[in-house]
Structure 1
Amino acid sequence: MDIADLLSSGGIVLRGGVSSKRQALHTVAEAASIALGIDEGRALDALLEREALGSTGLGSGVAVPHARVPGLDRVCAVFVRLDTPVAYESVDDRPVDLLFALFAPVNAGAEHLRALAAVSRAMRSPQLREHLRQARTVDAVRALFVKDAPVAAA
């Protein structure tokens, strides 16, 4: 699975200004609303409902929040990089600054799981995380997710 296929340039947000996990998830929901055309409130509620089951913080400053929302016809993603990491109840108790959020149709079973696995696997790479933190533009971030692309922090 090519992660870049899930992520449009409009779904990448490079900004800080949040001071809590809830605000970070609100930023994710806002990005999803703009990029994917889903209702912001519904997206936030779905993300918070999923977080109530257990934190999606993977460790090393990464979270992969995900939710199923009505109205989508395929799995889609948004990526948010925060300027200042926030407490997120991650498995390693480190704050999070990289959020790669997945939104799936209500009936997406295997497709949603494959996307989660691909994103989780990719985000385990220390090199990718560092390049994501150093990238200066939305296009540079998106290029990092293109399969077989050379890793560069343009």
Structure 2
Amino acid sequence: MDLSDLIDVPAIMPTLKANSKKQLLQILAERAASITGIPEREIFDTVLQRERLGSTGVGNGIAIPHGKLSGVKRITGVFARLDTPVDFEALDDEPVDLVFLLLAPEGAGADHLKALSRIARVLRDGETVAKVRGTHDATAIHALLSDTQGSKAA
């Protein structure tokens, strides 16, 4: 599974400004709503409910909030690079500046887990992450995230 299957250039926000985790999730839900046609509030509530189980801040300034919704037709992503990191209650207590929101159909099962694994693998690559942090261009970020060189086996 390639990340280009999950995310398109319009779903990338290269210079997002947010003051808090909640505001960040609201902005991501708004963009996801425009892409999926699902109400923003439904997306926000689903992602927030998942965050209450435990932060999806995985460390190194990266978060992968996710959720399953009945209205989602295919696994879909939204990516944001924040101008200023926000507290995300991450596992390492570091603020987050790269966020990949993943939405999946309720029946996605293993495909949802494969997509999460793929995102984590790409965002664990230090070279890719450094390049993403160094650009403000959505098309360039899309190319970096979609680069199959980043798909080395875990």
Shorter-chain TM-score bucket reads over 0.9
Instruction: Output the TM-score relative to the length of structure 1.
Output: 0.92
Structure 2: unaligned runs, 5 residues or longer: none
Letter in 2 for 1:49: Q
Structure 1: unaligned runs, 5 residues or longer: none
Query: 1:16-55 residue pairs with structure 2 within 5 A?
Result: 16-55=16-55
Moved more, 138-147 or 100-109: 138-147
**Matching residue of 2:103:** 103
In 1: Cα distance, 2:54 partner to 2:128 partner: 25
More helix, by proportion? 2
Query: 1:5-154 residue pairs with structure 2 within 5 A?
Result: 5-148=5-148
Deviation for aligned residue 1:35:
2.1
In 2: Cα distance, 1:17 partner to 1:3 partner: 24
Equivalent residues of 1:69, 1:105 under 8 A apart = yes
Equivalent residues of 1:7, 1:76 under 8 A apart = yes
In 2: Cα distance, 1:126 partner to 1:148 partner: 15
Q: Among all aligned residue pairs of Structure 1 and Structure 2, give the percentage whose two residues are the same amino acid.
A: 42
Equivalent residues of 1:69, 1:104 under 8 A apart = yes
In 1: Cα distance, 2:57 partner to 2:112 partner: 18
Q: 1:148 to 1:16 in 2, by over 3 A?
A: closer
Deviation for aligned residue 1:149:
5.9
Equivalent residues of 2:64, 2:101 under 8 A apart = yes
In 2: Cα distance, 1:48 partner to 1:136 partner: 27
- Once the two structures are superposed, residues 94-146 of structure 1 have per-residue CA deviations (whole angstroms, 9 ceiling, x without a partner) of 00010011000011101000000000111111111111111221100100122
- Once the two structures are superposed, residues 44-103 of structure 1 have per-residue CA deviations (whole angstroms, 9 ceiling, x without a partner) of 000000000000001000000001112112111010111000001111100001001100
Give the number of equivalent residue pairs.
150
